[in-house]
């Protein structure tokens, strides 16, 4: 795939409540968003157009220091808690079309809260699209190691009710459930616009291990990241 066929979007708003300032908080000698910038530079998409989408000038300055392009600050409507990743990506695609008359057929969303996503995962996603042209998306996932029958919700009386009745009670008998890990979403741009989500029917999973799948949301996640950074792709490359 020609790197110019892909728009890479790194979303980093300034209003995090779970861990204030997390996107520029130093981790292993880099601000958190710098890990995604570095992973991209070491991948086959190093020549792709990459935009850091933020509403915060401090994040914008940190992103530029990491070599990222920050051509705009997000409008207020995309800076609040209700703004979705879909809204942010479509805004970036619209900006590119309006300002540069470019409409790349693919868009790659790299959340900075997944610092341990390795460059090899980005390359593998591209390989999957090359090997199967019928795909509309590749997303990062991790194994759930559970079956629906082992997952519960409390009912109105506070009693546990299983989500499913598959008869599976042992982990090793699970059919291999997967859940998105938030690390990588590579989606056909036209399909994203038409369907309004990152999971079109022709979506393939890209499994990642527990470390690569770490998604930092709060102080506990941050403590885990600090403990695990020595086992990350930057440490063992």
CA-to-CA dists, residue 82 to 11, 18, 23, 45, 234, angstroms: 14, 15, 18, 30, 33
pLDDT at 167: 57
Residue 127: is it exposed, middle or buried by C-beta count within 10 angstroms (0-12/13-18/19+)? Answer: middle
Put simply, whether the predicted model's pTM sits higher than 0.95 gets the answer: no
Note the pLDDT of residue 17. 78
DSSP letter at 183 equals: E
pLDDT at 80: 80
In the CATH scheme, what architecture does the domain 3-143+177-232 have? Alpha-Beta Complex (3.90)
Q: Please, what sign has the CA dihedral across residues 223, 226, 227, 233?
A: positive
Report domain extents, the chain.
Answer: 3-143+177-232
How far is Cα 28 from Cα 49, in angstroms, rounded to an integer?
Answer: 26
- Count of C-beta atoms within a 10 Å radius of residue 166: 14
10-residue stretch averages of pLDDT, the chain, 237 residues long: 94 86 95 98 97 96 97 90 91 97 97 98 97 97 81 89 68 72 98 96 97 96 96 87
Query: What is the model's pLDDT at position 1?
Result: 78
The confidence score (pLDDT) of residue 166 equals 63
Nearest CA-CA partner of 229 in 115, 121, 142: 115
């Amino acid at each position: 795939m020609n790197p110019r066929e892909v728009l890479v979007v790194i979303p980093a708003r300034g209003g995090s409540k779970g861990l204030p300032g997390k996107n520029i908080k130093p981790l292993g000698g880099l601000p958190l968003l710098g890990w995604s910038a570095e992973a991209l530079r070491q991948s086959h998409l190093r020549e792709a157009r990459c935009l850091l989408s933020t509403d915060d000038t401090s994040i914008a300055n940190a992103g530029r220091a990491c070599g990222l392009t920050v051509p705009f600050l997000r409008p207020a409507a995309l800076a609040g808690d209700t703004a979705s990743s879909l809204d942010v990506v479509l805004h970036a695609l619209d900006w590119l079309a309006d300002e540069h008359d470019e409409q790349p057929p693919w868009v790659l969303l790299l959340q900075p809260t997944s610092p341990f996503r390795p460059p090899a995962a980005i390359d593998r996603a591209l390989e999957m699209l090359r090997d199967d042209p019928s795909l509309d998306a590749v997303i990062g996932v991790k194994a759930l190691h559970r079956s629906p029958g082992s997952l519960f919700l409390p009912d109105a009386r506070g009693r546990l009710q299983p989500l499913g009745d598959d008869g599976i009670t042992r982990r090793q008998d699970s059919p291999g459930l997967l859940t998105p890990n938030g690390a990588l979403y590579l989606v056909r741009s036209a399909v994203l616009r038409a369907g309004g989500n990152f999971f079109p029917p022709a979506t393939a999973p890209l499994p990642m291990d527990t470390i690569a799948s770490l998604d930092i949301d709060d102080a506990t996640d941050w403590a885990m990241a600090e403990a695990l950074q020595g086992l990350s792709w930057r440490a063992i490359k």
